[in-house]
Amino acid sequence: MICRMTDSDIPVLDRFSLAGKVALVTGASSGLGAGFAVALAQAGADVVLAARRADRLDAVRREVEKLGRSALSAETDVTDPEACQAAVQAAVERFGHLDVLINNAGLGTAVPALRETPEQFRSVIDVNLMGAYWMAQAAARVMPPGSSIVNIASLLGLVKSFWPQAAYAASKAGLMGLTRDLNQQWSGRRGIRVNAVAPGYFRSEMTQEIPPDTLNEFITQTSTLGRMGEQHEIDTVVVFLASPASSYVAGVTLAVDGGMSGH
Ligand SMILES: NC(=O)c1ccc[n+]([C@@H]2O[C@H](COP(=O)([O-])OP(=O)(O)OC[C@H]3O[C@@H](n4cnc5c(N)ncnc54)[C@H](OP(=O)(O)O)[C@@H]3O)[C@@H](O)[C@H]2O)c1
């Protein structure tokens, strides 16, 4: 008797595997994005690293290669739609396909609204919202059915901020709207699921700019867990959303914020 394994016979942990997949991570030169690149490689993916600082990308590329996976550094400014297209093209030229996009590039400034210049406001929207859209468009043009796009939004797209962050909050709330709409357009028709993650507070170059005492006070008051998140606690969520483990999760924003948005 021949026994054929069907999709429902795959053991649960194997569903998180990204073996044979290619993932592109924007903002992979530091912070969360560098961590995601390594985590995706640990799950079996080859990785394309996109950001502006080429030397920092190369350092992350070497970390991925130490895991036995292949990596490509693609110097990219996500505010330029043609550069996004070129990063996707480089991925396909090197690996033959692209299955996962992590839209993580972002910047967060705190400026009182009455003093914020048009350039300051635009620069945040340009990277956090428009950059994610240019990358998603470029990626979705080549992604096969079964692919996944994960947009890294923020807690501050869901709840009020402690600091004056109109541009940042608007960009991240916009990214959640973009997530819903792109998922509506692509998940059924093209087999590309689009989801978002809303991180709370994790250590990175971005959060280093916040005075530690203020940040600690804020976190103690707002997080039900009373602490910042650790990189591995968000890596697992990103790998889940990137992988077939989340095959029935589509168009949602998952908060990874130690209970901060649950108030
Ligand atoms: N850390 C947190 O607690 C937290 C909380 C909520 C949301 N987030 C989100 O998580 C993401 C990562 O942030 P992080 O905390 O890891 O900060 P980070 O260390 O400052 O990383 C930001 C990344 O974005 C890249 N980037 C910025 N502008 C870019 C551009 N024009 N083109 C391409 N890449 C660009 C930077 O690379 P280059 O400078 O090399 O281009 C860098 O790799 C952001 O979207 C942020 O909003 C973080």
Are 21 and 39 in contact by the 8 Å Cβ rule? The answer is: no
Ligand 1 atom closest to residue 57's alpha carbon, by position in its atom list = 40
* pLDDT attached to residue 2: 60
pTM of the model: 0.97
pLDDT at 204: 84
**End-to-end C-alpha distance for the chain, whole angstroms:** 57
123 Cβ inside 6 Å of ligand 1: no
C-alpha of residue 161 to centroid of ligand 1, in Å:
18
Q: Under a CB-based contact definition with an 8 Å cutoff, are residues 124 and 138 in contact?
A: no
Q: What is the 3-class SS of the chain, one letter each residue?
A: CCCCCCHHHCCHHHHHCCCCCEEEEECCCCHHHHHHHHHHHHCCCEEEEEECCHHHHHHHHHHHHHCCCCEEEEECCCCCHHHHHHHHHHHHHHHCCCCEEEECCCCCCCCCCCCCCHHHHHHHHHHHHHHHHHHHHHHHCCCCCCEEEEEECCHHHCCCCCCCCHHHHHHHHHHHHHHHHHHHHHHHHHCEEEEEEEECCECCHHHHCCCHHHHHHHHHHHCCCCCCECHHHHHHHHHHHHCHHHCCCCCCEEEECCCHHHC
Can you name the CATH fold of 19-252?
Rossmann fold (3.40.50)
Whether the CB of 29 sits within 6 Å of ligand 1: yes
Give the integer Cα–Cα distance in Å for 55 and 73.
9
pLDDT number for residue 1 = 53
Between CA 191 and CA 178 the distance in angstroms is: 17
Sign of CA dihedral 155, 168, 196, 105: negative
Q: Is the CB of 109 inside a 6 Å radius of any atom of ligand 1?
A: no
Nearest to 92 by CA among 41, 139, 150: 139
| Mutate-to-test residue for ligand 1 from 36, 101, 103, 104, highest number of ligand atoms within 8 A of CB | 104
pLDDT tens track, the chain, 263 positions: 565 667 789 999 999 999 999 999 999 999 999 999 999 999 999 999 999 999 999 999 999 999 999 999 999 999 999 999 999 999 999 999 999 999 999 999 899 999 999 999 999 999 999 999 999 999 999 999 999 999 999 999 999 998 999 999 999 999 999 999 999 999 999 999 999 999 999 988 888 888 889 888 989 989 999 999 999 999 999 999 999 999 999 999 999 999 999 86
- Is the Cβ atom of 108 under 6 angstroms away from ligand 1? yes
Cα separation of 147 and 140, whole Å? 9
Q: Cα of 188 to ligand 1 centre, how many Å? A: 30
Domain range list for the chain: 19-252
Of 71, 21, 69, give the one whose Cα is nearest residue 51: 71
Residue 145: name the closest of 181, 104, 178, 98 by CA. Answer: 98
> 182 in ligand 1 pocket by Cβ < 6 Å?
no
Indicate which residue's Cα is closest to atom 43 of ligand 1.
Answer: 27
Q: How far is the CA of 108 from the centre of ligand 1 (A)?
A: 8
Catalytic residues: 168
